[in-house]
């Protein structure tokens, strides 16, 4: 299986999934959002094997989501920080959390979020950029985009969209 | 590695990731949201091996996100539909898409979304349930939730949250 099998599909779900659709990767991102920065913090928090963590951090650095920076000389030590592109994944991570809170947390949520801007408890809601209402699959119609085409990953979808007006 | 390693963590990101954090699983969900229902539609659309598709559909059915139903007798044939819990993942899937459109689609988005309710093109935005503003990682503070505790996956996080007021 080619490593970029998903990355070359004409689909933004596939391309994003190619980088982040892995439980360890998402948990490292979660920890970065929660303020952890160091290799040994990730290993202690997650119980992740060091070779696996090294691999996932390399994936995140290669994808431009995380930067590795020296924070100490003699000996040199490095820590990890989200880039702007990495921070832009916040909505994905908290949307996964919100779904888990609704469906997989019968004892109540493990963690709550407080929106400091409005000073209220918050639950992430995925909304329409135009009207602000929550997006429901039944109320959204897919249309072909400028780079839409048939590739592995979109062969039937491309046919379905072919007779709709381009955007 | 135990199969439910992520499912038993006191973390809703980990529990959700345990089910959906796999590129093929996310693409099957995407196809279900786009209206595909049949095994042979998924294989033709995705170029996925039949044994892999069988495995991912079983995962989705076992997790209660998808139901398998007969649509024809003699011979009996089945198709696949999202449950209410599965449909509730729409925000996760379109948030992944929106990130890919912003960061991994230099030729423009492969697919556009039209919000039929307000009759405008839409981009998914992850917003605060209270004030409606977009959620930015820098403006959200994590607090301990009712089921928060130290498990593998939350050992450092539990310490960080221990001195904050419970919710």
User: Which pLDDT band holds residue A167 (cuts at 50, 70, 90)?
Assistant: low
Å from B165 to nearest chain A CA? 11
3-state secondary structure A54-68: HHHHHHHHHCCCEEE
Phi, psi of A122 (to 5 degrees): -130, 150
The Cα-based distances of A42 to A38, B91, B143, B152, B155 in angstroms read 6, 28, 19, 11, 9
CB contact under 8 A, B160 and A35: yes
Helices A23-33 and B12-20 pack at an angle, to 10 degrees, of 150
Q: Please, what is the Cα angle at A92 between A88 and A95, to 5 degrees? A: 135
Give CA–CA dist A63/A60, Å, rounded. 5
What pTM did the predictor assign?
0.96
SS3 (DSSP) at B155: helix
Q: How far apart are the first and last CA of chain B?
A: 33
Chains A–B, number of C-beta pairs less than 8 Å apart: 374
Mean pLDDT of A142-148: 95
CB contact under 8 A, A13 and B96: yes
Question: Nearest by CB to A95, which of B44, B92, B149?
Answer: B92
Span A28-83, pLDDT tens digits:
999 999 999 999 999 999 999 999 999 999 999 999 999 999 999 989 999 999 99
In this prediction the ipTM stands at 0.96
Length of chain A: 167
CB contact under 8 A, B95 and A99: no
Closest CA to B92 of A31, A118, A103: A103
């Amino acid at each position: 299986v080619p490593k970029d099998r998903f990355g070359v599909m004409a689909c933004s779900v596939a391309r994003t999934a190619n980088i982040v659709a892995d439980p360890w990767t998402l948990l490292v991102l979660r920890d970065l959002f929660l303020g952890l920065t160091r290799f040994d913090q990730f290993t202690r928090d997650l119980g992740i094997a060091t070779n696996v963590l090294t691999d996932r951090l390399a994936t995140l650095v290669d994808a431009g989501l995380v930067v590795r920076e020296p924070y100490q000389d003699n000996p040199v030590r490095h820590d990890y920080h989200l880039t702007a592109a990495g921070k832009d994944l916040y909505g994905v991570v908290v949307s996964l959390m919100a779904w888990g809170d609704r469906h997989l947390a019968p004892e109540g949520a493990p963690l709550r979020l407080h929106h400091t801007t409005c000073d209220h408890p918050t639950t992430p809601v995925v909304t329409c950029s135009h009207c602000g209402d929550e997006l429901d699959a039944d109320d959204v119609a897919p249309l072909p985009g400028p780079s839409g085409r048939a590739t592995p990953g979109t062969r039937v979808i491309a046919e379905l969209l072919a007779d709709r007006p381009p955007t």
